[in-house]
Amino acid sequence: MSLSSGTPKFRVAICGAGIGGLVLAVTIGKFAGRDVQIDLYEAHDAITATGAGIVFSRRTMEVIEALGLYEEISCVSAKPPSSSHGPQFRKSDIPTGGFKWFQRLVGQSDPVTMHRQLLVDILKRHLPSSCTVHFNKRLTKYDMLSAGSLVLHFADDSTETTDVLIGADGIRSSVRKTLFETLDRDIVDSSKITHYTDASWTGTVVYRAILPAEKLSEIDPNNVALREFVMFCGKDKHITAYPVSQGTLINVAAIVSDEQKAGTPFKGRWVSQVSREGVEEAYQNFEPAVKSLLKCCENMSRWALHTVNELPLASCDRVALIGDACHAMTPHMGAGAGQAMEDAFVLGRLLAHPLTTLDNVSAALKAYQDVRLPAAQLVARNSRLAGHMFHFNVPGYYDGTDHGNEQEELRILEEMIISHFEAQGKDGAMAEWQQAEKSLQGSVGLCNDC
């Protein structure tokens, strides 16, 4: 690869400095040096992360390793003592006391968990010198000029130009909006536009909090969440709790679903502060460990879980979408940020590739789309199904009540969950990158077997 100090081969504008946008900038910088000029536009006045925990699967750790960030990330990730025996699943919707349903390792190792802000801080430190970050720049729309370059319009009435635009602007993406509104009507007819531009409510809300482990251990020293990654499962609800920041903090996500409401509009703000009492009320039929956990939660926020409907494409000409902008999904497999990182890695390497030039950059964006869009959409579907499993809502399986053979029904559901997660980790991000590179080489006849 050439790390020339000459003129960059093209300019890439990344819209959104979330985890996806940051990893994209870091990847391009690492593999293209100063060959690609990067402008990162962020709507807010700083690079921030909502303070909550984050989970990475083994396949996402491959990306972290390839970017040379493994050491730094390992230093700040939580290593609960249980890290070799998998998450503990409990049947918890029993007020007098739930029970351990199962605890098994999925794949070779446990997922890596960490505080989101720490990840963002590391990525920030690794932004390349070829990348300029522009704050308070909220993209409203873009136009394509006949010569192929793009004009970006911002909320402050300013404009900028670029050669390539990547929408990493999250679930309410402005890039996605313009892309689908200006797409050829033969590809998407006008009645379907809002189906793709607007996010859709899943009927689910998530209550999130981070609490000091010390506080919980004062009132309930044996609480399982102090030591384990634990899933407190019940009918239509579950709580995921796990230690972060070397076990000093505990991340809590309490999820309540109403499938009947899926697809209906959510009334109210997507994220709001809520009182702890309301959440305690929702879990009043849960076991004592859940009650003491919730008692320690302050500053709980409620997130109305929205997703992006399955898009028919993720790139068009010189524009592409990554991460939540492209496939925001439910958090049930802890996969959303990982999928954003995998998108960013594959796309970043394609853009950095010596075979990619300004004239044919759209071929690189298409190679990215062909590999990553189906893969991420599969993860999104699996994530939704996982939610149904945790909530005893898969038709034909254990439905949350004892019909006389509860243990056997729970065992069958356990097998389903395990094989579901096993299948998830199979093909890694590196394999996807190799496949994308082959398809890029194939498009110029450099590759015989593809």
Ligand X SMILES: Cc1cc2nc3c(=O)[nH]c(=O)nc-3n(C[C@H](O)[C@H](O)[C@H](O)COP(=O)(O)OP(=O)(O)OC[C@H]3O[C@@H](n4cnc5c(N)ncnc54)[C@H](O)[C@@H]3O)c2cc1C
Binding mask 286-305 for ligand X (x = CB under 6 A): -----------------x--
Binding mask 284-323 for ligand NAG (x = CB under 6 A): --------------xx------------------------
Which of 332, 337, 317 has the alpha carbon at shortest distance from 388? 332
Q: Is 253 in the site for ligand X (CB under 6 A)?
A: yes
Considering CB distances under 5 to 8 angstroms, the limit depending on partner class, which of ligand X, ligand NAG, none binds residue 402?
none
Q: Give one DSSP letter per residue of 75-144, joined into a string.
A: HHSB--TTTTS-PEEEE---TT--EEEEE---SSSPPEEEEHHHHHHHHHHT--TTEEEE-S--EEEEEE
**Out of 272, 285, 357, 419, the residue judged to bind ligand NAG by CB under 6 A:** 357
Q: Is 394 in the site for ligand X (CB under 6 A)?
A: no
Residues contacting 61, CB < 8 A, separation 6+: 70, 112
Residues for the chain: how many in total?
450
Strand partners, 167: 15, 321
User: Per CB under 6 A, which region of 87-95, 169-177, 365-373, 431-439 contacts ligand X?
Assistant: 169-177
- 113 burial class (0-12, 13-18, 19+ CB within 10 angstroms)? buried
15 vs 92: CA distance, rounded Å: 42
61 vs 197: CA distance, rounded Å: 31
Pick left, alpha or beta for residue 136 (phi over 0 → left; psi -120 to 50 → alpha; otherwise beta): left
Considering CB distances under 5 to 8 angstroms, the limit depending on partner class, which of ligand X, ligand NAG, none binds residue 355?
ligand NAG
Phi, psi of 138 (to 5 degrees): -95, 115
How much helix, strand and coil, in percent to the nearest 5, is found in the chain?
A: 40, 25, 40
Which of 284, 219, 285, 281 has the alpha carbon at shortest distance from 250? 219
Considering CB distances under 5 to 8 angstroms, the limit depending on partner class, which of ligand X, ligand NAG, none binds residue 220?
none
Dihedral over Cα of 424, 338, 170, 246: its sign: positive
Considering CB distances under 5 to 8 angstroms, the limit depending on partner class, which of ligand NAG, ligand X, none binds residue 359?
ligand NAG
Contact set for ligand X, span 320-339 (CB under 6 A): 323-325, 331, 334-338
Contact 71, 262 (CB under 8 A): no
The nearest distance, CB 113 to ligand X, in angstroms, is 8
Considering CB distances under 5 to 8 angstroms, the limit depending on partner class, which of ligand X, ligand NAG, none binds residue 243?
none
Q: Is 16 in the site for ligand X (CB under 6 A)?
A: yes
The nearest distance, CB 179 to ligand NAG, in angstroms, is 22
Q: Is 355 in the site for ligand NAG (CB under 6 A)?
A: yes
Contact set for ligand NAG, span 360-399 (CB under 6 A): 360, 363
The nearest distance, CB 444 to ligand NAG, in angstroms, is 4
Q: 53-56 and 249-257: which strand pairing?
A: unpaired
Q: How many CA atoms lie within 13 A of 402 on its CB side?
A: 7
Considering CB distances under 5 to 8 angstroms, the limit depending on partner class, which of ligand NAG, ligand X, none binds residue 19?
ligand X
Strand, coil or helix: 252: strand
Q: Is 358 in the site for ligand NAG (CB under 6 A)?
A: no
The nearest distance, CB 99 to ligand X, in angstroms, is 25
Total of chain residues touching ligand NAG, rule CB under 6 A: 10
Q: Is 342 in the site for ligand X (CB under 6 A)?
A: no
Total of chain residues touching ligand X, rule CB under 6 A: 34
Q: Is 115 in the site for ligand X (CB under 6 A)?
A: no
User: Per CB under 6 A, which region of 29-37, 120-128, 317-325, 354-362 contacts ligand NAG?
Assistant: 354-362
Residues in the site for ligand X, rule: CB under 6 A? 15-21, 41-44, 54-55, 137-139, 168-170, 174, 206, 208, 253, 303, 323-325, 331, 334-338, 340
Residues in the site for ligand NAG, rule: CB under 6 A? 298-299, 355, 357, 359-360, 363, 440, 443-444
